[in-house]
Structure 1
Amino acid sequence: MKLIIRITLPLLLLSMMAVQASAAGLSERVIEHTLKNGMKILMVERHTSPTVSAWIRFKVGSVDERSDERGVAHLLEHMLFKGTKTLGTKDYASEKPLLDKIEEVAQNLVQEKAKQERGDKEKIKSLQSELSRLESEAGKFVIKEEFADLYSRNGGYNYNAFTSKDGTTYLIGLPSNKLELWAAIESDRMQNAVLREFYTERDVVMEERRRSYDAEPAGRLWETFLATAFMAHPVGQPIIGWMSDLENLTRTKAEHFLKSYYAPNNAIIAIVGDINPQKTVAMVERYFGNIPPGKSVPPVAVREPQQHGEKRVEIIGDAEPELMIGFHKPTLPDPDDYVFDVIDMLLADGRTSRLYKKLVIEKQIATEVGSFSAPGSRYPNLFVISATPRAPHSVKEVEDAIYAELERFKSEPVQEKDLQKILNRLEYEEFRQMGSNGGLARNLTEYEAVTGNWRYLIEHRQKVAAVTPMDVVNVARKYFTRENRTVGFITKKLKEESK
């Protein structure tokens, strides 16, 4: 939460009163319903405008992938825009045999390439040519972007999706009288998704990987930093997958992952806006109720071993210096996680935060500072501090200055007035987030999926309010240690090194 607030006291008090009333009312206004197949619906009735936001959150993300299917959750996010047996195709009966033949050729190609130096180069060339020919032939049946066109023609907006370590979400805003269209499209997608143009889209994702990670020092730093911090737990692996992971992904693997987990029992739907809850439940039951459940997503059993020494990662590239420092920490519902929320806001939340005042304003050794918890929330993660040194100051200068501020937490208890300011900012942020249908739908699905109870929205501020100055001291002493940290930084490539 990086929010700079400049409002007058009367307005702040009015805002606080509004958010308190809103939060209190939310517990009564959220209507829950669970279908027999396990799908959970969270509804909030709002008649401020004739619109509705509908979010579907699948409780499966990149952390749930096996080592031989890394990148599949993100690739499926792309693929589920491609259509179904009735949408996105001119003639599925004629298209399907071609899709089957494409997969047969692609499987042979992947297997031959996996032999690496022992692979038959002529066979690989022949299979690539055949795959290209078949994809071109199958492409004649494809209707591009039919989902998006249908929604757009019916007033849809903010049609999107995203994949994280923790889950995969599909979202849309619509006129409220078009909600049944959403139910028809999304239930069809849940039952009848066709992963057409799979290998073409895999190439698109591979290019995305080259552009955003392989060719970008900042991208390389982030994924190498995480992979270094986590030796064993899959939360440290990139959501997009490593290049060799993508090269070995097949439609068969993706379909298995899809059919196993993208099912009603792993789905949470939030519908917020101009609705009649009783009629909405009946509609969702009608469209989604007969879809069979899939497998429950198993918990990740592996635990990250305790770190016993500092890890350092250097990325040399044609970019300005950057610094990241990460400390292993627990996630909710551990009480220490709420203390880190307090530390985060004290340390780097806005222009009055400790790091901003010390590094950016006073010492002028950095241009930007930030802090956040990453890379996911379902499993223990990192508290990350990031900073951009201001030339000619070095990464080491900035790093040492950050450690000095962290040491203050260990010896100087936070003042009660500073804790109160944090609560005020939290209340304002809650008010802002709940102000839009989409914002509330996102929070409902996110917290229901991660914590198992959307009421975290209400309880979070109460938990933070219980944090004491000594809690901050104890957490700082426990986690802000040399042996618990991973440090990553970019070193700018010198001109003579690039020749």
Structure 2
Amino acid sequence: MNRALKGLFAVIIMIAACSLAYGSVFDFSRLQKSIVEKTLPNGLKIIVLPRHEVPVVSMVTWADVGGSDDPKGYTGMAHMFEHMAFKGTDEIGTTDPAKEVLLMAKEDAIFEQLRLERLKGDKGDKRKLERLEKDFEKAIADAYALIVPNAFSNKLENEGAEGLNAFTSKDQTAYMVSLPSNKFELWMALESERFLRPRLREMYREREVVAEERRMTVENRPMSRLLEEFLSTAFKAHPYGIPLIGHSSDIQNYSRSAAKDFFDKYYGPNNLTLAIVGDVKPEKVFELAEKYWARVPSKYKPERVATVEPTQICERTVIMPDKAQPIILMGWHIPDETHKDMPALSALSSILGSGRTSRLYRRMVRDDKAAVSVSAFSGWPGSKYPCLSVVFCYPAQGKSASECDKIILEEIEKIKNASVTPEELERVKTGTMTGLIAGLKNNMGLAQNLAQYNQIWGDWRALFGELDRINAVTCDDIQRVAKKYFVKTGRTLAVLETAQESEK
């Protein structure tokens, strides 16, 4: 597709968003009744919402696997596989499929020798190590010579794809794109092919890309390093405490066989959901799903993470000296997203630190000038398993972390002792409704919401119960959960102090 047509398609997407965003009254029941679902014999779940305003369709492939599922010794593998999923298939992405198989096998064999020699540490044979390093670099270069870079992505982008992307979180991995509706079958064919016959080419070069990503986004950013320390302190047992991008040593240890094992375990059709919203007919979607996805064999459904974080018995504190701006971060353990207390906990976080009308913003930023920013949120770093409710703050110049900590705890105690006002709770309910409607009116946002609720709740219909759950929350509920969960022994505190302050 030429630039003019791609530009036109981008305009169509914007028109679609605007036409949906400014409807008069949003009809939740009508929307829910328009959604159709089907599960193929191999376990693949397909959720379809037809919207024919413009000839555009948005698609999400949602995998029930995230960083919390990373194998031991291969932290960050969920994120790494997200990268590898764009490397093509047996046929797409190479000039010589048969020769590539042989060259990739040579890469793998040399890396295994290299890995074993590295494990010997100081006892390893240095000459052998040097020889293997050179052989490995040559094997990588030989295999790369056959690669057609970005071949998979280009097949979609050349047909007008917009928003071709993916993300990995602690709980899930998602792949998304919007296309002209007359290119929907192309997406079905390509998407099924990459999860039927992925070719994990460029494995070892991409590993270096991820290693550099870790250096740039974590090791060179004080805030990211503080977050890693905070999570590893808050979660002593559960994998929510492990870095999503992985530990550096594990990244360097990634092998193609480990990535293939990960794919085989977590990327079966019975662990995937397709959510499709836009200008399509459900019967045609299901027909194409049968054509392209039914050939993907079912696999054993992976078990959930069995490890349960033990009850925290004392307050935990992390102090990290750095030259950067001071930061204070604290969190309390709370249940998973489906727990009956989560709506009240979400409302509590909103009242504490969501926006300029929140209690912490008004006192700390507007009135006391103790902070330049403050926020609170629940359900982090994931919500499939018991997680954290968090408060995050940048102290103002001349103000200490301890001063900010004192104010935050005072405001929480006020809620424990006197609850919140009906007006505050009503603002939360109104804001929740506004946010929900905004998400439902955007095709891609709705597709992601449907897939996520289907994964976490086991039924996409739970999305349409969100307003009922938040509307059922009372002021007494908020006071009750504040007393129950925001306790001293359950708190983890992380502080980034400027080097000068920490040296005093």
Normalising to structure 1: TM-score of the pair? 0.94
Aligned partners of 1:330 and 1:337 also within 8 Å: yes
- Aligned pair partner of 1:489 in 495, 499, 503: 495
Alignment of 1:476 onto 2:482: yes
List per-residue Cα deviations over 1:364-405 (Å, max 9, x = no partner): 111111112201111000001100001011111111110011
Alpha-carbon distance, 1:67 to partner: 1.6
TM-superposed CA distance for 1:447, in Å, is 1.1
Q: For residues 414-444 of structure 1, give each alpha carbon's deviation from its aligned partner in whole angstroms, at most 9, with x where no partner exists.
A: 2223222221111111111111110100101
Residues 28-47 of structure 1 correspond to what in structure 2 (within 5 A)? 28-47=33-52
Choose the corresponding residue for 2:362, options 328, 349, 357.
357
* Letter in structure 1 aligned against 2:481: V
Write out per-residue CA displacement over residues 14-58 of structure 1, whole angstroms, 9 at most, x where no aligned residue.
989723x1x222220110110000000000000111100010001
Aligned counterpart in structure 1 of residue 25 of structure 2, from 2, 18, 35: 18
Q: C-alpha distance in 2, partners of 1:417/1:366?
A: 25
Give, in whole Å, the separation in 1 of the partners of 2:466 and 2:105.
Answer: 50
Q: Which amino acid aligns with 1:440?
A: L
CA distance in 1, matches of 2:294, 2:95: 28
Matched residue SS, 1:191: coil
Q: How does 1:213-224 map to 2 (within 5 A)?
A: 213-224=218-229
- Provide the rounded CA distance (Å) in 2 between the counterparts of 1:495 and 1:122: 48
Answering whether residue 237 of structure 2 is matched by residue 232 of structure 1, we say: yes
Letter of the aligned partner of 1:308 in structure 2? I
Does structure 1 residue 260 correspond to structure 2 residue 265?
yes
Q: Which residue of 1 aligns with 2:18?
A: none
Aligned equivalent of 1:10: none
Q: Does 1:454 align with 2:472?
A: no
Alignment size in residue pairs: 482
Instruction: Please tell me the residue identity of whatever aligns with 1:453.
Output: D
**SS of residue paired to 2:319:** strand
Partner residue of 2:10?
A: none
Moved more, 343-352 or 152-161: 343-352
Unpaired segments of 5 or more residues in structure 2?
A: 1-20
Task: Report if aligned partners of 1:32, 1:41 keep a CA contact under 8 Å in 2.
Answer: yes
Preserved CA contact (<8 Å) 2:321 2:502: no
Aligned counterparts of 1:16 and 1:458: Cα–Cα separation in 2: 18
8 Å Cα contact 2:71/2:77 also seen in 1: no
**In the alignment, structure 1 residue 429 sits paired with structure 2 residue 438:** no
Cross-structure match for 1:167 = 172
Number of the residue aligned with 2:301: 296
User: Equivalent residue of 1:126, what SS?
Assistant: helix
The partner residue of 1:127 within 112, 124, 132 is 132
Moved over 4 A (4+): 14-17
Equivalent of 2:74, from 51, 69, 76? 69
The alignment's C-alpha RMSD in Å is 1.6
* Residue aligning to 2:447: 441
* Cα offset, 1:118, TM superposition: 2.1
Structure 1 CA distance, aligned partners of 2:368 and 2:100? 65
The residue identity in structure 2 corresponding to 1:88 is G
Pairwise CA distance, 1:493:
2.2
**Superposed counterparts of 1:177-326, under 5 Å:** 177-326=182-331
Gap runs ≥5 in structure 1: 1-13
The separation in 2 between residues aligned to 1:468 and 1:494, in whole angstroms, is: 46
Amino acid at match of 1:480: F
Give the equivalent residue in structure 1 for 2:14.
none
Counterpart Cα distance in 2 of 1:326 and 1:124: 46
Which residue of the partner structure matches residue 403 of structure 2?
397
Alignment-derived partner of residue 4 in structure 1: none
Partner of 1:494, secondary structure, is: helix
